[in-house]
Chain A
Amino acid sequence: MNADDETLLAELLEGKHRALARTISKIENRAPGYRELISKLYAHTGEAEVIGITGSPGAGKSTLVDKLAETYRERGETVGVIAIDPSSPFTGGAVLGDRIRMASTVGDMDVFVRSMSARGTLGGLSTATADAVKAMDAFGKDKIIIETVGAGQNEIDIVRTADTVAVLVPPGSGDDVQTLKAGILEIADVFVVNKADRPGTDRTVQELREMIELGSGSGLSGSGHHGADAGGDVGGSAVATQDDPEERATWTTPIVETVATDGTGVDDFIDELVAHREYLVDSGAHAEKARQRSAEEIRTLLREDVHAMLEDELERAGGIDDLAAAVAAGETDPYTVADEVLSPVEDCLAELETRNP
């Protein structure tokens, strides 16, 4: 690690805001040396509680995050917020608007709000988010809240970085429970019917309740449902392990009603977050999640490294454009090209194996 990064790391650990901000920029930009920096941060992580907030556009996520942060501050806890806007147009530009709604805590540096956009990096936004969470964790934030619009797989991956995921479902017409994406419902640890001051709240709560009852046993409730589908082929059924299955705590997704604009229900919401946290720890799901996350992280990093290596090989083999042109001209085919690009790498590996059996 170079001297600048050493300084940056030391300053971040000392609690200098600018150093945290700069570290997150390095993460976003994948600036040279960022991996070493995160690697050094790792030893200082593990204390923060990470909460994901997702839901359709305009559901009131930022407003709720603001109230949540305010309440945590009143309780003496420090807060980090990562507000993600995954929808940038093709220019790559974006107007990140979540911050405007987070006004209750302005002037209080102990709420650190960071806006992030999609930038199409290889590791993806979920990796950048996970790393930014680590930076905030190492900085010493007690609570870290991730806000993202719930739309596709990408966002689901982002929000999985959190220990506890809250899905906002506003009452009323366009947002019928039936129309919600199945994936979004499956990741919910807590349902929040926000805008509970609006008509249709009771109906939405009722629909969610029926859905949870229907779904019990099939993924919407019960123990360790995160474990089982957390991506990668690491653990399989997460909590189905040695210890007595009877002893295991279970979790049924609760529904809370909130009015984010005036803070109604925020305490109830926090109570459910606390309860879920307890469940995670007691059931062992928390530790299991941490293991799965590490496994996924190792895979991602390796994939990234191998990918970079292969890009170099591709260049050496003449570059992707020329190779594609050769295919178009009927001189070769993609399978042959892939084999040819890979073969020096494979030869190297084979040689390594014979040297270190």
Chain B
Amino acid sequence: MSSEQEQESIRCLVAKVGLDGHDRGAHVIARAFRDAGFEVIYSGLHKAPEEIVQAAVQEDVDVLGISILSGAHDTLVPKIMSGLEEYDAKDDTLVLVGGVIPEEDRPELEAEGVSAIFGPGTSIEETIEFVRENAPDR
């Protein structure tokens, strides 16, 4: 390993928005991402969409993973997406949503710019593989 090679690692923000207090999934994902060699910033619980946008922009993350099990994804996710757009960050941030998202709501989230949705029981390996393959090349 040559020491002066570029040291680029994938940076991710794992975010919990709104009143949703289910944080097990977010913890599982944060730890799995860390073990995969990613740099992970965890937002903590009960963040407003603007706070998530602020963190994503300032930390310049490659991947924003939003975890929502409360059912409020249809209002929260669009707010985050438009916030990212406001800061010119939407196009080259890979946005993922995880948690409890009914099948019928998925097309709308994808239309908003969400790249993939990972519901309960999706394999961690698949998720990591997806991130590795789709993290933006900057």
Contact = CB atoms under 8 A, between A and B. Distances in A.
Interface string B66-92: 000000000000000000000111000
Nearest to A85: B39
Interface string B1-32: 01110111101000000000000000000110
B58 A114 contact: yes
Given A100-B44, A311-B2, A92 B9 contact: yes
B126 interface: no
B59 interface: yes
Given A91-B35, A94-B34, A122 B40 contact: no
A70 to B, nearest CB: 15
Contacts of B118: none
A92 B40 contact: no
Contacts, number: 100
Nearest to B33: A93
Nearest to B51: A106
B4 A93 contact: no
A114 B59 contact: yes
B43 A93 contact: no
Contact of A96 (B6, B41, B47, B50): B41
A209 interface: no
Nearest to A80: B58
A30 B8 CA distance: 8
Contacts of B87: 17-18
B34 A30 contact: no
A100 B43 CA distance: 6
Interface residues of B, number: 36
Given A18-B88, A121-B3, A94 B39 contact: yes
A93 B8 contact: no
Contacts of A122: 3-4
Contact of A92 (B37, B58, B59): B37
Contacts of A120: 3, 7
A89 B38 CA distance: 11
Contacts of A115: 39, 41, 59
B124 interface: no
Contact of A91 (B8, B36, B43): B36
Contacts of B54: 106-107, 109
Interface of B: 2-4, 6-9, 11, 30-31, 33-44, 47-48, 50-51, 54-55, 57-60, 87-89, 138
